[in-house]
A and B are shown apart, each in its own frame.
Chain A
């Protein structure tokens, strides 16, 4: 009676060492410009070739500017060099590339799924920790470092230890103004930023079953913020209907046999996990982080915590540090925290449904004075669809910037970044010190919550704005 995790794992074992380490076959490999150049260079130096170029997709996302003139010029020479290097490496190895002028270009974890590259039952890797996103299809998908990128390029395999298995069951139904982002923030707050270390996580339960693919992608995306090796949701009709007809998905008779196979993947009744957790979605309020770890999430109705209430001296010290960095006073209402910037984007929350939810809050409103707000679609295809639905008009009329796809302000690597001391309501996934730019302060929240903050100029309970 195996779990879905074990079923998919066992299918991919090429060989196993006596100590239990497995040589896993890798079905799909995505590469971006930041973590791949050293891998391609090392291959070249060793005189090795990419084993199965047709299993790869290359896409620039981290460094790309999101301004309209990016095809004419990229100011930063180092960014330009990384993007050009990706282009050359892809060309030389015969790897498909969604370049900056391609409508399919976007954040690697957004563009892969929407083009049907990620299927149930597969293994997928990328030199990026948020590869965990792709597990939403019922796949083993995990982030790797550059040495492993090189190994996967050369051999189409990776040596991996079997993970411990955890099931997180989400019961109940989400209330109005609550989204998948709030559910995953609440889960991370519950199990901790290191709570998933060494584990593969299956998200299950009625609330997850009711979620769309986009919502499942948001949940799996932040698995890594709990330290989990990978996260997944068992495939079902929602998965199949999302995939059917996507460019790289199987067609015709092959589609039929694929679906029949995928239906055998879900965890068997009575299968046991190393650890079980559960959370009731109906009790989750919209969440917002106050500190510098994703585990620092609280209901928006709450208060900045007081370190003097914390008995553990090490935890107390961490809280004090975080409060100093975030420039917050213990005991203040979260809704009294002002914001300078609002960022709606990233591989966590830049898919079409996220933009629809944010636009629903934005319709007919105006961004508060002194606040700069931006929407950065996760890919060119998301952008086009949003424009067809008129979402861009809603955002532009409300005073948001509507930008070109990329990682943007999720990390301080391209021109979109916070200035020291600036405070941002952000739909991204990491509130680490300096993540959005040196000295920048990040409050993680959902797209609806971020939109609400844009209009009031402070952290806001979106339920009051609906």
Chain B
């Protein structure tokens, strides 16, 4: 289900790294759950905790003013690698509602939208500037306005971002995508009827 997202003003956490993969966001050994909840404690586990489970003092999530921040600002290709939606669940379970980055792994980007975690693509220079500001003033807030499609940094500068009209509407209303698709039931039925004639070998039972 998509959790509604309209606007947000919150503490932003800088994560100045490129190619943050989903194994880093949530390591595989924590995927052995059949639930979606409780993963926030494991978020960025290998970077956040040492072998004894003690917090690493330098990692941004462990720095007091950033604790509980709801916005993450990261480098290129955020969420690359494995398709695990657990990465999105872990971020959201921790409380993150938006990730700002110059680019995202495609599957992560899709997964984020399906859950109501807003992935915001900004130009690399804009992201670098926001990272600089929230690093220099820990605890500084960023605002995101989805209807207006813009982000306002701590210094008041505003940046526009793109998002498809359909995912935007789903986020704004918190829609159930499956229910929307099932409204196309007849078209799907028709596709299958035609397909059975044209390419019958694709409709053999496995």
Contact = CB atoms under 8 A, between A and B. Distances in A.
Interface stretch (B66-74, B76-84, B90-98, B146-154): B76-84
Interface string B72-115: 00011100111111001000000000000001111110110011
Interface in B161-198: 164-166, 177-178, 181-182, 184, 187-188, 191-192, 195
A34 interface: yes
A363 interface: no
A212 interface: no
Given A82-B34, A433-B46, A434-B24, A117 B206 contact: yes
B32 A63 contact: yes
A54 B206 contact: yes
Contacts of A258: 199, 201
A116 to B, nearest CB: 10
Given A79-B32, A314-B18, A25 B23 contact: no
Given A25-B191, A194-B19, A227 B83 contact: no
B184 A15 contact: yes
Given A78-B32, A78-B33, A433 B206 contact: no
B53 to A, nearest CB: 12
B31 A261 contact: no
Interface in A223-281: 224, 227, 229, 248, 250, 254-255, 257-258, 261
A148 B23 contact: no
B34 A21 contact: no
A35 B84 contact: yes
Interface residues of A, number: 81
Contacts of B76: 194
Main DSSP-derived SS at the A contact region? mixed
Contacts of A78: 32-33
Interface residues of B, number: 58
B24 to A, nearest CB: 6
Contacts of A42: 1
Contacts of A143: 83, 107
A314 B75 contact: yes
B63 interface: no
Contacts of A261: 199
B204 interface: yes
A314 B102 CA distance: 14
Contacts of A411: 23, 28, 82
B200 interface: yes
Contact of A198 (B51, B106, B206): B106
B32 A413 contact: yes
B34 A254 contact: no
A37 B34 CA distance: 5
A148 B178 CA distance: 9
Contacts of A197: 77, 103-106
Nearest to A131: B83
B114 A41 contact: no
Contact of A318 (B17, B83, B187, B201): B17
Given A46-B178, A145-B88, A54 B19 contact: no
Given A38-B35, A314-B75, A318-B18, A148 B114 contact: yes
B138 interface: no
A400 to B, nearest CB: 24
Given A318-B17, A413-B31, A128 B181 contact: no
Interface stretch (A155-163, A345-353, A372-380): A155-163
A41 B192 CA distance: 26
Given A14-B187, A96-B206, A432-B24, A193 B34 contact: no
Contact of B191 (A14, A48, A439): A14
Contacts of A433: 23-24, 46
Contacts of B178: 46, 48, 150-151, 154-155
B32 A145 contact: no
B110 A144 contact: yes
A371 to B, nearest CB: 24
A227 B106 CA distance: 7
B81 A23 contact: no
A293 to B, nearest CB: 5
A184 interface: no
Contacts of B201: 119, 250, 254-255, 257-258
Contact of A76 (B32, B166, B195): B32
A79 B192 CA distance: 37
B27 interface: yes
A257 B165 CA distance: 41
A438 interface: yes
Contact of A35 (B77, B83, B181, B191): B83
Given A147-B111, A197-B104, A430-B23, 10 more contacts: A21-B164, A21-B166, A96-B206, A147-B114, A148-B111, A151-B181, A197-B106, A433-B24, A435-B23, A438-B27
Give the 5 A-B residue pairs with the shortest CB-CB distance, closest first.
Answer: A145-B111, A78-B32, A250-B201, A147-B114, A145-B85
Interface of B: 1, 17-19, 21, 23-24, 27-29, 31-36, 46, 51, 75-77, 80-85, 88, 103-108, 110-111, 114-115, 164-166, 177-178, 181-182, 184, 187-188, 191-192, 195, 199-202, 204-206
